[in-house]
Amino acid sequence: MKTKISMELKRLEALGLTPKEVDVYIALLGAESASISKLMADANVSRKSIYEILQKLLDKGLVKYTIQDNKKKFAAVSPERFLDILKEKQRSIEGILPDLLTKYKEKKEETTVNVFLGKEGMKAITKNILNVGTPFCALAYEGKIFDFLKYYMPQFMKEREKRKIHAKIIYCESFRETNIRPPLSKIKYVSNKMSSPISLVIYGDNINILIFSDTPLAIHIKSKEIAHSFMNYFNLMWAMGKK
């Protein structure tokens, strides 16, 4: 039984007690009171260490003492004291938690960048718009994605409409001549002089950059800060656009 209690009390180390402090406290639990010499023998602690250990246990309120015949006799405080220690630790943590949370939220955000070659890469990051499911803003200019992914884009638009994902899209004036009108979209047009082989899509903290060249390149970036910067640019372009 004593061995079982000893093993259980070893868990008290999780409350901040050192192994030797636990040993001394266990030794005191088995006696009404004990002298320094008895504690040294029962807990197997040196004279050099016993005073420091007892002082720490006294500071934690786990040990008390009386003086008998000009000698200190030590005794354990009820184990219920550990509940008080837990409550004190909780109050201490609650006191600093707001500051810790502020620092946690202010920590530098991790940015992830993935680069894909070919049309399949373009398809993959375009499909991610459906997976995220938030409204998006796009600088599509000439709408070249409808040529590069001509078999996938009808599926994409159908699924986007089904999921009720709205969009704001900027095209060049030349796109007016096409019969393509993406669903759930507010559209504006800018001068053909602003045409570019690069398209940009912003959705949540995600940015898709599509480069339409002989070797198509698709870049996906996940970053709240970068997405915010691109949104500022999009809003500027949107203000310049015409319906």
Strands (E), the chain: 63-68, 71-76, 112-117, 136-141, 167-172, 185-190, 198-203, 206-211, 217-222
Residue 172 and residue 210 in one domain: yes
pTM equals: 0.57
Residue 156 and residue 226 in one domain: yes
Which is higher by pLDDT, 106 or 36?
A: 36
Residue 5, pLDDT score: 53
Residue at a domain's end among 46, 66, 84: 84
Residue 118 and residue 70 in one domain: no
125 inside domain: yes
107 inside domain: no
Residue 23 and residue 138 in one domain: no
Instruction: Provide the pLDDT confidence category of residue 109 given band limits of 50, 70 and 90.
Output: low
pLDDT digits (tens, 9 = 90+) for 61-88: 888 888 887 888 888 888 888 888 888 8
Which is higher by pLDDT, 2 or 237?
A: 237
pLDDT digits (tens, 9 = 90+) for 193-229: 988 899 999 999 999 999 998 888 999 999 988 999 9
Residue 61 and residue 132 in one domain: no
Q: Which two tokens stand for residue 145?
A: 């994605």
pLDDT digits (tens, 9 = 90+) for 131-189: 999 999 999 988 889 988 999 999 999 999 999 999 999 999 999 989 888 999 999 99
96 inside domain: no
Tell me the CA distances in angstroms from 37 to 51, 67, 73, 99, one per residue in order: 11, 15, 10, 47
CA distance 115 to 180: 28
90 inside domain: no
What mean pLDDT comes out for the span 236-240? Answer: 92
Residue 134 and residue 202 in one domain: yes
Q: Which two tokens stand for residue 176?
A: 């007016």
pLDDT > 70? residue 108? no
Instruction: Provide the pLDDT confidence category of residue 1 given band limits of 50, 70 and 90.
Output: very low
Residue at a domain's end among 66, 84, 102: 84
Length of the chain: 243
Question: Which CATH number is 153's domain given?
Answer: 3.30.870.10
Instruction: Provide the pLDDT confidence category of residue 102 given band limits of 50, 70 and 90.
Output: confident
Range of the domain at 55: 2-84
The count of structural domains within the chain is: 2
Residue 27 and residue 127 in one domain: no
Q: Positive or negative, the Cα torsion across 82, 83, 88, 90?
A: positive
What mean pLDDT comes out for the span 34-41? Answer: 84
Residue 214 and residue 156 in one domain: yes
106 inside domain: no
Q: Which two tokens stand for residue 78?
A: 């009820």
Residue 224 and residue 170 in one domain: yes
Instruction: Provide the pLDDT confidence category of residue 233 given band limits of 50, 70 and 90.
Output: very high
